Amino acid sequence: MADNFKTRLRNETVIGPIISLPCADVADLLSRAGFDYLWIDLEHSPMSVTDAQLLLQAAGGRCPCVIRVPEVSEAWIKKALDTGCDGIVIPQIRSAAEARAAVAWCLYPPLGRRGAAATRAHAFGMDFAGYVARANEDLAIILQVEHIDAVNEIEAILQTPGVAALFVGPFDLSGSMGLLGQIGHGDVQAAIDRVIAASRAHGMPLGLYVVDGPSAADARARGFNMIALGTDSSYLVAAARAALAAAKGT
C-alpha cells in the first residue's frame, strides 16, 4: 500500500493521541477527530489485549492504530499483532540485541519468527494468505529509546533491519540517568540530541510525546515527525476544567 501508516511515517509528520482508557467510544470519537493515528497504550494503563482489540474495532478503519505493548516480550508482541494493528510500539529497548529480537518477533518467517494462528489480523483465517503476504512489509515496528544504554548503542540499534521508527521517551531516559523528571536538564537534552542526530543521519523517522500544540511545533522543528499529542484523559480533564472555569467566570 502506498499510503499505509509505515509509508506515511517515512514521508510526513503524523500526529495522534495516546489512548489509555478502555472505552470503545473514546477510540470511536478520536478516530473521527482528524488525527493521523491512534496510540493504544497497554504499558501505562489497565487495558488488556481484548480491550485494545475492541478499540481497534471501534476505530473502524478510519484511522491507523498502533499498540504499545507493556514490555519487550514475544508473547505480548504476538498478542498485540494478532489484533490487526497497523503498528507496534515496543518500550525499553536497551541494546541492538534487544532490537533484533523484538523485530524478529514481529515478522513472519523467513525474516523473523512470528507465530501464526487464526486471529483478527487476518479475518480469523479468512484472509490468512493475503495478510501474511503483506504483513512484513506493512507493519510499522517502532522501538522506544528511553534508557541511556540505548542512547549509548544508538548507532547499532539504527542498523537493525525492519525498524520503521524510533520513539524517544524523555521521562524514563531521565530516570535512567539519575535525573528522573528533569527532562530539561542539559545532560538529558544532550542525550536526546544524540538520538536526533544519529536518526537524521540514517534517515530514520523519530517520535516524541508532547502535551500541547506549541510543544508539538517545537518537536517538529527539532526533527521529530511522529508526534504523540496528549492523552484521552488529559483532553477530558482540560475540556472539563475550561468549561467549568468559563461557567464560573474564573
pLDDT per position as a tens digit, 129-163:
999 999 999 999 999 999 999 999 999 999 999 99
Q: What are the backbone dihedrals phi and psi of residue 146, each rounded to the nearest 5 degrees, phi first?
A: -145, 30
- CA pair distance 31, 38, nearest whole angstrom: 7
Percent of the chain with pLDDT over 70: 99
Average pLDDT taken over every residue of the chain: 97
> Mean pLDDT across the stretch 185-197?
98
Indicate if the pLDDT at residue 236 is higher than 70: yes
| CA angle in degrees (0–180, nearest 5) for 17-11-204 | 85
> Mean pLDDT across the stretch 3-27?
97
> Mean pLDDT across the stretch 186-196?
98
Residue 122 annotated as catalytic: no
Per-residue confidence (pLDDT) for residue 69, from 0 to 100: 98
DSSP run (H or E) holding 194: helix 186-202
Question: DSSP state, 239?
Answer: H
By C-alpha distance, which of 2, 18, 13 is closest to 165? 13
By C-alpha distance, which of 200, 199, 21, 164 is closest to 88? 164
Per-residue confidence (pLDDT) for residue 1, from 0 to 100: 41
Catalytic annotation, pick one of 44, 122, 185, 202: 44
pTM: 0.96
Indicate if the pLDDT at residue 206 is higher than 80: yes
Indicate if the pLDDT at residue 2 is higher than 60: no
Indicate if the pLDDT at residue 18 is higher than 60: yes
> Omega into 170 within 30° of 0, i.e. cis?
no
Is the model more confident about 47 or about 3?
47
